[in-house]
Copies of this chain bind each other. A is one copy, B any other.
Amino acid sequence: MQTDTLSATFAALADPTRRAILARLSEGEASVSELAEPFSMSLPGISKHLKVLESAGLISRSRNAQWRPCKLETEPLKAVAGWLEGYRAMWEDRLDRLEAFLKLTDPNAREH
C-alpha cells in the first residue's frame, strides 16, 4: 500500500466486502462478529479487512469488555469527496451538452 492517505483510502474502498462493512457501520457501531455475520468469510479474514479500514482511517475501534466495537470515520470520505470536486465540473459540463443535444433532437422541439 502507498504512503499517501488518498491512495490508502481508495485502496481500502476497492473491495466490496470492505464497502459492505462501511455500509453496515453507517447504521451504527458494531462488533467484529456482528460485522462478520453477513459474510461467508472466516473471522480472521474480516479482522484483516478491518485492519485495512482502520489504517486508512475509515473506522476507529474502541473497547467494551471482550468486544471491540467499530465506528465509521468520515474524514477519509470527505477527502475523497474533495478530490472528486476537481472533476465534477467535467461531467456536469458534459451533462449540459447532452441536454442541449437532446433539446435539438427532441421530436417536440422539431415540430416548431
The residues of A with any CB-CB pair to B shorter than 8 Å are 2, 4, 6-8, 10-11, 13-16, 19, 22-23, 26, 72, 74-75, 77-78, 80-81, 83-84, 86-88, 90-91, 94
- How many identical subunits does the complex contain? 2
**Nearest-CB residue, chain B, relative to A77:** B87
B2 touches A86 (CB 8 A): no
Q: Which of B6, B8, B15, B74 is A19 in contact with, Cβ under 8 Å?
A: B6
Q: Which of B13, B14, B23, B94 is A74 in contact with, Cβ under 8 Å?
A: B94
A84 touches B87 (CB 8 A): no
B91 touches A84 (CB 8 A): no
Least Cβ–Cβ distance between A89 and chain B, in angstroms: 9
